[in-house]
Amino acid sequence: MRQEREIVARVRAARDSARAADALVRDYLPFIKAETAKFMGRPPREGHDDELGIAMFAFHEAVLAYDRSKGAFLPLASLSIRNRLIDFRRRERRHADVDSLDERRGGDELDPGRALVDELASERDEIAESDARRASREEIAEFARQLEGLGIALTDVAENCPRQRRTLEACQRALAYAREDQALLDRLVKTGKLPMSDLARGSGVDRKTLERHRRYLVALLVAYTNGYEIIRGHLCRIVSPAGGDAR
């Protein structure tokens, strides 16, 4: 009972503090690894198995979604991790099950087997997919390092994201204005601070709204002004109401 009260207190703290959230994930990494190992049938390897990173993300999602009235936290975290890993495995299988229309199976006189061109194409696809995953990890790591220099953690972006549509649209107007104001962007890069007065005046968005979502705004502007092509591809669905590219 005492242990449950302690973790509930830590989960609550983690919802308001990126540092507390990072510490909670770090302290419960053995639990996260154990849940991942249950799913994989073997211990996950850090830096090699995507499943571990997905499980860590799912654990953080459980922190944000936790409601004590619905029961203990760890069972919820366990379920969140399993559901995320199942989704990941399904996506992997869909990719693996896509066969070439010209594919030939077998390998005897009656069936010459799979065409060499299909084998090569499959290998190229796997290499390209592996390269894309590696590029994504490297870009996210660099993005995280740059945000850290501004006092922002990746968890801040999700936590600080506007929840109401009206507020989201207001932040979108501010972002659209900021991306067109090179002087404002230069000040952000030079000082690490977003000039709220200028942004509020130029975009017509209430300064209090901008202040409440400062970390979210800074993170998106960093992504849009520093060549993070992969991250921008994901963020455009957030920045544009219709899900299109807001660049």
CATH number at residue 81: 1.10.1740.10
> Digits of tens for pLDDT over the chain (247 positions)?
667 778 888 988 888 887 888 889 889 999 999 999 999 999 988 778 888 888 998 898 888 888 877 788 888 899 999 998 998 888 777 655 444 434 454 444 444 555 544 554 554 555 555 555 666 677 777 777 878 888 887 777 767 878 788 988 899 899 889 988 888 888 887 888 889 999 999 999 999 999 999 988 988 888 777 666 666 655 544 444 433 333 3
DSSP state of 241: T
Cα dihedral: 161, 22, 58, 147 (round 10): 40
* Closest to 169 (Cα-Cα) out of 223, 239, 220: 239
Which of 80, 98, 116 is the endpoint of a domain?
98
Please state the pTM of the whole predicted model: 0.44
- Are residues 17 and 86 both part of a single domain? yes
Assess if residue 194 is contained within a domain.
yes
Residue 125 located in a structural domain: no
Residue 160, number of CB atoms within 10 A of its CB: 18
For residues 32 and 99, what is the distance between their CA atoms, to the nearest angstrom?
34
In a domain, 108, yes or no: no
Residue 130: inside a domain: no
Q: How many domains does the chain have?
A: 2
Statement to judge: residues 94 and 165 lie in one domain: no
Q: Judge whether 136 lies within some domain.
A: no
Residue 182 resides in a domain: yes
Q: Does one domain contain both 164 and 84? A: no
Considering only CA atoms, which of 143, 139, 168, 159 is closest in space to residue 215? Answer: 159
Write out the residue range of the structural domain in which residue 59 sits. 1-98
